[in-house]
Protein backbone atom coordinates (compact mmCIF):
# COMPACT_ATOMS: atom_id res chain seq x y z
CA UNK A 1 0.00 0.00 0.00
CA UNK A 2 2.85 2.37 0.87
CA UNK A 3 4.60 1.66 -2.43
CA UNK A 4 1.39 2.29 -4.35
CA UNK A 5 0.87 5.61 -2.54
CA UNK A 6 4.50 6.67 -3.21
CA UNK A 7 4.18 5.71 -6.89
CA UNK A 8 1.00 7.82 -7.24
CA UNK A 9 2.62 10.80 -5.45
CA UNK A 10 5.66 10.62 -7.73
CA UNK A 11 3.46 10.44 -10.83
CA UNK A 12 1.38 13.36 -9.53
CA UNK A 13 4.53 15.43 -8.90
CA UNK A 14 5.77 14.71 -12.44
CA UNK A 15 2.46 15.86 -13.93
CA UNK A 16 2.39 19.01 -11.79
CA UNK A 17 6.03 19.78 -12.59
CA UNK A 18 5.33 19.77 -16.35
CA UNK A 19 2.85 22.64 -16.22
CA UNK A 20 4.13 25.80 -17.91
CA UNK A 21 5.03 28.66 -15.62
CA UNK A 22 2.62 31.56 -15.61
CA UNK A 23 3.37 35.21 -15.02
CA UNK A 24 1.71 34.94 -11.61
CA UNK A 25 3.70 36.39 -8.72
CA UNK A 26 5.24 34.05 -6.18
CA UNK A 27 5.80 36.74 -3.55
CA UNK A 28 5.18 40.42 -2.99
CA UNK A 29 5.90 43.20 -0.51
CA UNK A 30 3.62 46.01 0.60
CA UNK A 31 4.86 49.38 1.88
CA UNK A 32 8.42 48.25 1.21
CA UNK A 33 11.75 50.02 1.38
CA UNK A 34 14.64 48.26 -0.37
CA UNK A 35 18.18 49.59 -0.01
CA UNK A 36 20.93 48.42 -2.38
CA UNK A 37 24.51 48.61 -1.18
CA UNK A 38 27.55 49.50 -3.27
CA UNK A 39 30.82 47.58 -3.30
CA UNK A 40 32.04 49.82 -0.47
CA UNK A 41 29.12 48.74 1.74
CA UNK A 42 27.45 52.15 1.66
CA UNK A 43 23.90 52.69 0.31
CA UNK A 44 23.88 53.06 -3.50
CA UNK A 45 20.12 53.35 -4.00
CA UNK A 46 16.85 53.17 -2.14
CA UNK A 47 13.45 52.11 -3.48
CA UNK A 48 10.18 52.82 -1.67
CA UNK A 49 6.99 51.38 -3.09
CA UNK A 50 3.52 50.56 -1.80
CA UNK A 51 3.70 47.26 -3.73
CA UNK A 52 6.61 45.23 -5.13
CA UNK A 53 5.90 41.94 -6.95
CA UNK A 54 8.27 39.14 -8.06
CA UNK A 55 7.44 36.99 -11.11
CA UNK A 56 9.25 33.61 -11.07
CA UNK A 57 8.73 32.78 -14.77
CA UNK A 58 11.16 35.50 -15.90
CA UNK A 59 12.63 36.47 -12.50
CA UNK A 60 11.43 40.06 -12.96
CA UNK A 61 10.43 42.52 -10.26
CA UNK A 62 7.63 45.05 -10.66
CA UNK A 63 7.17 48.14 -8.49
CA UNK A 64 4.04 50.22 -8.41
CA UNK A 65 4.28 53.97 -7.67
CA UNK A 66 8.04 53.63 -7.03
CA UNK A 67 10.08 56.40 -5.37
CA UNK A 68 13.82 55.97 -5.79
CA UNK A 69 16.85 57.76 -4.43
CA UNK A 70 20.26 57.29 -6.05
CA UNK A 71 23.14 58.21 -3.76
CA UNK A 72 26.10 59.88 -5.48
CA UNK A 73 29.69 60.04 -4.24
CA UNK A 74 29.65 63.85 -4.55
CA UNK A 75 26.89 64.05 -1.94
CA UNK A 76 23.73 65.29 -3.67
CA UNK A 77 21.34 62.41 -4.50
CA UNK A 78 19.03 62.08 -7.51
CA UNK A 79 15.35 61.31 -6.89
CA UNK A 80 13.20 59.44 -9.41
CA UNK A 81 9.52 58.57 -9.29
CA UNK A 82 7.08 57.00 -11.77
CA UNK A 83 3.78 55.19 -11.98
CA UNK A 84 5.44 51.83 -12.63
CA UNK A 85 8.89 50.21 -12.73
CA UNK A 86 10.11 46.88 -14.08
CA UNK A 87 13.47 45.31 -13.32
CA UNK A 88 14.22 42.23 -15.45
CA UNK A 89 16.27 39.32 -14.17
CA UNK A 90 19.75 40.37 -13.09
CA UNK A 91 18.67 43.70 -11.55
CA UNK A 92 21.07 45.79 -13.65
CA UNK A 93 18.32 47.87 -15.29
CA UNK A 94 15.13 49.56 -14.16
CA UNK A 95 12.54 50.49 -16.79
CA UNK A 96 10.21 53.28 -15.64
CA UNK A 97 6.97 54.30 -17.28
CA UNK A 98 4.15 56.69 -16.62
CA UNK A 99 4.77 60.22 -15.35
CA UNK A 100 8.50 59.75 -14.83
CA UNK A 101 9.93 62.59 -12.76
CA UNK A 102 13.64 62.92 -12.01
CA UNK A 103 14.79 65.58 -9.54
CA UNK A 104 18.17 66.79 -8.38
CA UNK A 105 18.32 69.37 -5.59
CA UNK A 106 20.64 72.30 -6.16
CA UNK A 107 23.89 72.06 -4.22
CA UNK A 108 23.93 75.86 -3.83
CA UNK A 109 20.44 76.24 -2.39
CA UNK A 110 18.80 77.31 -5.66
CA UNK A 111 15.80 75.70 -7.30
CA UNK A 112 16.03 71.96 -8.04
CA UNK A 113 16.42 70.54 -11.53
CA UNK A 114 13.22 68.70 -12.48
CA UNK A 115 13.07 66.41 -15.53
CA UNK A 116 9.74 65.01 -16.74
CA UNK A 117 9.16 62.34 -19.41
CA UNK A 118 6.93 59.33 -20.08
CA UNK A 119 9.49 56.50 -20.03
CA UNK A 120 13.05 56.08 -18.85
CA UNK A 121 15.61 53.28 -18.44
CA UNK A 122 18.19 53.44 -15.65
CA UNK A 123 21.39 51.40 -15.80
CA UNK A 124 22.14 50.61 -12.16
CA UNK A 125 25.79 49.70 -12.89
CA UNK A 126 26.66 53.05 -14.52
CA UNK A 127 23.97 55.34 -13.04
CA UNK A 128 22.98 56.51 -16.52
CA UNK A 129 19.29 57.26 -17.14
CA UNK A 130 18.12 57.36 -20.76
CA UNK A 131 14.95 57.99 -22.73
CA UNK A 132 14.01 58.34 -26.40
CA UNK A 133 10.81 60.20 -25.51
CA UNK A 134 10.18 63.97 -25.27
CA UNK A 135 11.73 65.55 -22.17
CA UNK A 136 10.85 68.72 -20.24
CA UNK A 137 13.54 70.15 -17.93
CA UNK A 138 12.80 72.96 -15.48
CA UNK A 139 15.04 74.74 -13.01
CA UNK A 140 13.40 77.77 -11.49
CA UNK A 141 12.38 80.08 -14.35
CA UNK A 142 14.57 78.25 -16.88
CA UNK A 143 12.88 75.69 -19.14
CA UNK A 144 14.36 73.31 -21.73
CA UNK A 145 12.64 70.79 -24.00
CA UNK A 146 14.06 68.11 -26.24
CA UNK A 147 13.55 64.62 -27.60
CA UNK A 148 15.76 61.90 -26.14
CA UNK A 149 18.07 62.33 -23.16
CA UNK A 150 20.97 60.70 -21.38
CA UNK A 151 21.51 61.69 -17.74
CA UNK A 152 24.94 60.79 -16.36
CA UNK A 153 24.05 60.99 -12.68
CA UNK A 154 27.60 60.37 -11.40
CA UNK A 155 28.88 63.40 -13.36
CA UNK A 156 25.74 65.58 -13.01
CA UNK A 157 25.73 65.85 -16.79
CA UNK A 158 22.71 65.78 -19.13
CA UNK A 159 22.63 65.36 -22.89
CA UNK A 160 19.48 66.24 -24.83
CA UNK A 161 19.67 64.53 -28.22
CA UNK A 162 17.37 66.35 -30.68
CA UNK A 163 14.79 69.13 -31.13
CA UNK A 164 16.25 71.11 -28.21
CA UNK A 165 14.58 74.39 -27.31
CA UNK A 166 15.12 76.46 -24.22
CA UNK A 167 14.03 79.58 -22.38
CA UNK A 168 16.54 81.03 -19.94
CA UNK A 169 16.06 84.02 -17.66
CA UNK A 170 19.30 85.88 -16.90
CA UNK A 171 20.17 86.22 -13.25
CA UNK A 172 20.09 89.71 -11.78
CA UNK A 173 23.47 91.02 -10.73
CA UNK A 174 23.72 92.15 -7.13
Q: What is the pLDDT of residues 70-115, one digit of tens each?
A: 988 777 899 999 999 999 987 789 999 999 999 999 878 889 999 9
Q: What average pLDDT does the segment 145-172 reach?
A: 92
Residue 118 confidence (pLDDT) above 90: yes
**Pairing of β 60-64 and β 84-87:** antiparallel
> Per-residue b/e over 121-150, b at no fewer than 16 CB within 10 Å?
ebebeebbbbbeeebebbbeeeebebebbe
Average pLDDT, the chain: 87
Cα separation, 150 vs 160, whole angstroms: 7
171 band by pLDDT with thresholds 50, 70 and 90: confident
Q: What average pLDDT does the segment 124-138 reach?
A: 94
What's the chain's length in residues?
Answer: 174
Residue 21's pLDDT is 62
The residues near 18 (Cβ < 8 Å, ≥ 6 apart) are none
Q: Please state the pTM of the whole predicted model.
A: 0.81
Summarize pLDDT for 20-78 with one digit per residue, the tens. 566 777 888 999 998 888 888 888 889 999 999 999 888 889 999 999 999 887 778 99
Amino acid sequence: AGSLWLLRQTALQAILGERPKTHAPDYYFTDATVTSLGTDGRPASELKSPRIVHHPDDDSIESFDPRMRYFMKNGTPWYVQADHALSPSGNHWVYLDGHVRMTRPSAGGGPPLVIVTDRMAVNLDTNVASTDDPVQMDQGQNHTQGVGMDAYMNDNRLVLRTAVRGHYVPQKKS
